[in-house]
Chain A
Amino acid sequence: MTKKEKITNILVCGVGGQGVLLLSDLLAEIAMNEGLDVKKSEVHGMAQRGGSVTSHIRFGKKVYSPLITEGNADFIVSLEKLETLRYLHFLSPNGVLLSDNLIVEPLPVIIGLQEMPKDINERIKNRVKKFYLIDAFAKAKELGNTRVQNMIMLGALSNFLDFTPDTYHQAIRKNVKAKFVDINIKAFETGVGLV
């Protein structure tokens, strides 16, 4: 459980188009509604082009830097396992990793210029004390919309934060188009049950 006096650092990563930004927007808004100081940082522009996307969310009593530094993330929430590996060094020694098992091969691999590391799970095990590998994308597919993968991951993360389920539901209702609210809340609840 996180203490409100301490700064909580959450790094969300994934591939452009997976919904990293919505997930992090919701987290930031929830923290602000709880009366905390919040900073959230990411780089737009390339996000729709299938590149690697990260978002840094920091909340607590008073937040200065909008960026989390290596070794200081309390949580990494990753929507893709190669991206998990890319940002693993941001996790603090006691940090928690929540990663989808999904792998999206990048173009340099597809066209044969680079190779996929074969031992991703091994490397995670070697480096991280507390991690959860989740089939969020697969679950989202079962729910009928792969785009709610991010809400499943948010649900999984919510188990470790101090905010009530209602605050998440409200944030989803406020930020998601009306016709997608139900499936997003369902996805969130599915995620809660996955860890």
Chain B
Amino acid sequence: MPKVLLSGDEAVARGAYEAGCKVATAYPGTPSTEILENMAQYREIYSEWSTNEKVAFEVALGAALAGARSLVAMKHVGLNVAADPLFSSAYIGVKAGFVIVSADDPGLHSSQNEQDNRFYGLFAKIPVLCPSDSQEAKDFVKLAFDLSEQFDIPVLIRLTTRVAHSKSVVNLEDRVEHPVKGYEKVKEKTILLPQFARLRHYSLEERLQKLAEYAETTPINRYEPGQKSIGVIADGVAYQYAKEVFPKASFLKLGMVHPFPKNLVKNFGQKVKRLLVVEEVDPFLELQIKALGLKAIGKDALPKVDELNPRIVQNSLYPEKKIELKPETDVPARPPLLCPGCPHTGLFYALQRQNIIIGGDIGCYTLGALAPHNTMDTCICMGASITFVHGVEKALGKEDKRRKIAVIGDSTFFHMGVPGLINVAYNRGNIVTIVVDNRTTGMTGHQDHPGTGKTLLGETTKALDIAAIAKACGIEKVYTVDPYKIKETKSLVRKVLAEEGPAVIISSRPCALLATKNPSKQVLADRCNGCKLCLSLGCPAIEIAEGKAIINEAFCVGCGMCVEVCARGAIL
């Protein structure tokens, strides 16, 4: 079979395909999104974008209990959303293999925290496998399906950004079919009423004990003999970094980090003179190694914050060979931006310089928090815009004259915004919810969602109407506006801010990256007086040269927002 270059995400999808997976679900989230995007190319697998991670998890669990090999994928914080079924699923177990993929993001490349989801293994009592490159990502997914069936338990694969988004060489193999076993009613297993759940807890402890024995002998926990002066225990991509820094050392590479292979680790620790633990973010392995009474160096030397690389490993654990190379100073930052023609731009322009409190949410529009817009006070987690400002409004009461605004994207609204909006209507809230509806899941690369009328498999489906949902949630004042119409948007926003009572504004216009490009706008140099009002749009296509605005034709998509903003009619 051929060798190909695959990212870790692509390799996970390929592994599921080869393992005979039948159902795969996810909600998009960096760095996990490409798993399901790639899964959809395998027509033997039913793949879907679910509305959120809890939904995705439960759909895949249902499929596994119906006897089909199933996989659910999400970013690390998505597993918080899905934590409820995660814990229950460990008790229940599976019928066919059930694999959960969590893509963690050490370094916060595109996330709100650096949580280490290996701890979910300990917490929810499920086995955890940590691949260190794409080949292992594929192999471990296949093994996880087998282990899930052998031990009657879901298996968690923990990727990190550097595994998910790095490409390396992978050997392809054929798919092996696993026919759907069919649904059976086994109420002692699937009904977690206390009398059954207690017995399932006993069963879970027994299953974990057997898994602990398996962890001692599994080939993915690998002893690599080397010099005895240094012994390294490592997992995931941290293993790759440590191999570069300590090429001659003895290694214990852990592929399965929960249950923890105590005897294997103890024997290894006793063989070497100096024991090093190399892992990213939290001291997950180190805590368990030290609990065995072994002396080891880990997070007392290595950082707990940010992702590692070979240089950090070397400087922390091998200070005699410390090298520090400083970057050039004062190089201006190049932060990610709202794109030229981004419809969010028009809405944020209308919200600028208002005496308001704005709760933000998760998506491209979180960039509205940055200059020149500065129109967002928070970014907490999916759906936490509406609920957050509702709390602020209840705390400050009528004496606080600032209007409380929530800004939430369309995909995020479907994901977790709806319960918050119902809560506002139910609890007599008085906030304005603005749904920035760009008809796609923008930040993660344009995935469909319940409002787009298309499924992941490309089928046409019902496109849910956000205005109708808002009304059904109990909000009476629901407005829709096109944010490209700057003046109209501004006057609607001002009007709603001045009114009392809960309201929803849907700022609706497809993402500029999906729309056709119009001819570039031009600045009439004799009319431009260099007032820089147009710069307050934060459009990357507008620059100032020799005191006057110019439009970079390579970037401009001809949206025309700047034409409306310019007070002197200098842009055409």
Contacts and interface: CB of A to CB of B under 8 A. Distances in A.
B243 A89 contact: no
Contact of A29 (B5, B34, B327): B5
Q: Is the interface of A mostly helix, strand, loop or mixed?
A: mixed
Given A44-B445, A51-B336, A65-B244, A89 B165 contact: no
Give the interface residue-count category, chain A.
35 or more
A111 interface: yes
Interface in B31-73: 31, 34
A111 B538 contact: yes
18 contacts: A32-B169, A37-B168, A38-B5, A38-B169, A39-B133, A39-B166, A41-B165, A44-B34, A45-B30, A49-B364, A52-B334, A65-B243, A67-B241, A67-B310, A86-B327, A110-B544, A114-B333, A117-B328
Quick one: which of A25, A83, A109, A127 has the most chain B CB within 10 A? A109
Interface in B442-460: 443-445
B531 to A, nearest CB: 13
Contacts of B161: 43
Given A32-B3, A89-B326, A67 B162 contact: yes
B241 A64 contact: yes
B311 interface: yes
B337 interface: yes
B133 to A, nearest CB: 7
Interface residues of B, number: 54
A45 B30 CA distance: 6
Nearest to B443: A45
B332 A46 contact: no
B309 interface: yes
A82 B309 contact: no
Quick one: which of A15, A39, A45 has the most chain B CB within 10 A? A45
Contacts of B468: none
B365 to A, nearest CB: 12
A2 interface: no
Contacts of A116: 332
Interface of A: 15-16, 25, 28-29, 32, 37-46, 48-52, 63-67, 69-71, 82-83, 85-89, 105-111, 113-117, 123, 127, 146
A113 B168 CA distance: 40
Interface string B308-347: 0111000000000001011110111111111100000000
Contacts of A105: 543
Given A51-B335, A83-B334, A66 B168 contact: yes
B325 A89 contact: yes
Given A82-B334, A83-B334, 19 more contacts: A32-B4, A38-B5, A40-B5, A43-B161, A45-B30, A45-B109, A49-B337, A65-B237, A65-B241, A65-B310, A69-B309, A85-B331, A86-B327, A89-B327, A108-B371, A110-B540, A110-B542, A111-B535, A111-B538
Q: Is the interface of B mostly helix, strand, loop or mixed?
A: loop
B367 A86 contact: no
B543 A110 contact: yes
A67 B132 CA distance: 13
Quick one: which of A41, A106, A115, A117 has the most chain B CB within 10 A? A41
B311 A117 contact: no
Interface string B433-448: 0000000000111000
Given A110-B542, A111-B372, A28 B167 contact: yes
A86 B336 contact: no
A75 to B, nearest CB: 17
A146 B162 CA distance: 31
Contacts of B176: none
Contacts of A86: 327-328, 331, 334
A45 B543 contact: no
A40 B167 contact: yes
B371 A113 contact: yes
B369 to A, nearest CB: 14
A51 B443 CA distance: 13
B554 interface: yes
A48 B341 CA distance: 13
B513 interface: yes
Nearest to A105: B543
Contact of A115 (B133, B168, B244, B332): B332
Given A66-B240, A107-B538, A82 B331 contact: yes
B110 interface: yes
B543 to A, nearest CB: 5
Nearest to A56: B166
Given A66-B237, A111-B371, A111-B372, A39 B334 contact: no
